[in-house]
Structure 1
Amino acid sequence: MDFTLSAEQQERYTQVRAAARELTTGPGTTTFGENLRKELAGLGLLGAAVPAEYGGAGYGALDTALLYEAASDGGADTGLLFAAAAHLFACVRPVLEFASPRTRKTLLPALCSGDLIAGNAMTEPDAGSDISRLTTRATRVDGGYLLDGLKSFVSNGPVADLYVTYATTDPDGGYFAATAFAVDRATPGLAAGEPLHKSGLTACQASEVRFTRCFVPDDRVLGSPGQGQLVFQTSMLWERSCLFALYLGQQERLIRQCVRHARQRQQSGKRLADLPPVADRLADMRLRLESGRLLLYRACAEIDAGEDSTLWVALAKLAVSEAALATALDAGRIFGGRAFLTEYGIEEHLRDAAPATTFSGTSDIQRQLIAREMGL
Structure 2
Amino acid sequence: MIDWNEDQIALREGLSAWHEAFSADHVENDEESTFSWEKWKLVRESGILSLPFDERWGGLGQDLLTTMYVLEGLGEGCRDGGLNFSVTTTICSVGVPLERFGSAALKEKYLPRIISGDAIGAHAISEPAGGSDALKMRTKAERDGDHFILNGSKTFVSNGPIADLFMVYAKTHPDGGPLGVTAFLIERDTPGFEIGNPIKKMGLRTSPLSELFFDECRVPASQVCGRIGGGFLVLDYVMKREILYSFITNVGEMQNRLERCVDYATKRTQFGKPIGTYQAIANKIVDMKIRLETSRKWLYDTAERLVRGENVTVDMAIAKLLTSESNLASSLAAVQIFGGNGYMAEYGLEKDVRNAVAGTIYSGTNEIQYNRIASMLGL
The TM-score range, normalised by the shorter chain, is over 0.9
Q: Structure 1 residues 84 and 214, CA, compared in 2 at 3 Å: closer, same or farther?
A: same
Return the letter of the residue paired with 2:369: Q
Aligned to 2:2: 3
CA distance in 1, matches of 2:86, 2:34: 12
CA distance in 1, matches of 2:335, 2:127: 33
Name the SS of the counterpart of 1:87 in structure 2: helix
Aligned to 1:183: 186
Name the SS of the counterpart of 1:255 in structure 2: helix
Within the alignment, does 1:361 sit opposite 2:364 as a pair? Answer: yes
Deviation of 1:58 after TM superposition, in Å, equals 1.4
Report matched runs for 1:1-80 at 5 Å: 3-23=2-22, 25-26=24-25, 27=28, 31=35, 33=37, 35-80=38-83
Name the SS of the counterpart of 1:229 in structure 2: helix
Return the letter of the residue paired with 1:100: S
CA displacement, residues 213-239 of structure 1 (integer Å, 9 cap, x when unaligned): 101111101111111111111100100
The answer to whether the 8 Å contact 1:45/1:85 transfers is: no
Return the letter of the residue paired with 2:14: Q
CA displacement, residues 339-374 of structure 1 (integer Å, 9 cap, x when unaligned): 211121110111111110110001121222223334
The answer to whether the 8 Å contact 1:124/1:150 transfers is: yes
Residue of 210, 213, 223 corresponding to 2:213: 210
Deviation of 1:250 after TM superposition, in Å, equals 0.7
The answer to whether the 8 Å contact 1:60/1:304 transfers is: no
Aligned to 1:168: 171
The answer to whether the 8 Å contact 1:32/1:159 transfers is: no
CA displacement, residues 71-94 of structure 1 (integer Å, 9 cap, x when unaligned): 111124111010111111122111
CA distance in 2, matches of 1:42, 1:305: 33
Unaligned runs of 5+ in 2: none
Aligned-residue RMSD, C-alpha: 1.7
Report matched runs for 1:178-257 at 5 Å: 178-257=181-260
Aligned to 2:136: 133
CA distance in 2, matches of 1:25, 1:145: 44
Return the letter of the residue paired with 1:93: V
The answer to whether the 8 Å contact 2:85/2:204 transfers is: yes
Aligned to 1:318: 321
Q: Structure 1 residues 206 and 161, CA, compared in 2 at 3 Å: closer, same or farther?
A: same
Deviation of 1:30 after TM superposition, in Å, equals 5.4
Name the SS of the counterpart of 2:143 in structure 1: strand
Name the SS of the counterpart of 2:245 in structure 1: helix
Which 10-residue stretch deviates more, 19-28 or 240-249?
Answer: 19-28
CA distance in 1, matches of 2:57, 2:36: 21
The answer to whether the 8 Å contact 1:17/1:73 transfers is: no
Within the alignment, does 1:343 sit opposite 2:346 as a pair? Answer: yes
TM-score, with length taken from structure 1: 0.95
Residue of 225, 243, 266 corresponding to 1:263: 266
Deviation of 1:375 after TM superposition, in Å, equals 4.2
Name the SS of the counterpart of 2:368 in structure 1: helix
Aligned to 1:352: 355
CA distance in 1, matches of 2:186, 2:78: 33
Return the letter of the residue paired with 1:181: F
Deviation of 1:321 after TM superposition, in Å, equals 0.7
Deviation of 1:142 after TM superposition, in Å, equals 1.2
TM-score, with length taken from structure 2: 0.94
CA displacement, residues 90-137 of structure 1 (integer Å, 9 cap, x when unaligned): 221111111111111110001100111111111111123332110111
Return the letter of the residue paired with 1:17: S
Deviation of 1:303 after TM superposition, in Å, equals 2.5
Q: Structure 1 residues 32 and 121, CA, compared in 2 at 3 Å: closer, same or farther?
A: farther
Report matched runs for 1:98-109 at 5 Å: 98-109=101-112
Name the SS of the counterpart of 1:22 in structure 2: helix
Deviation of 1:25 after TM superposition, in Å, equals 4.3
Name the SS of the counterpart of 2:50 in structure 1: coil
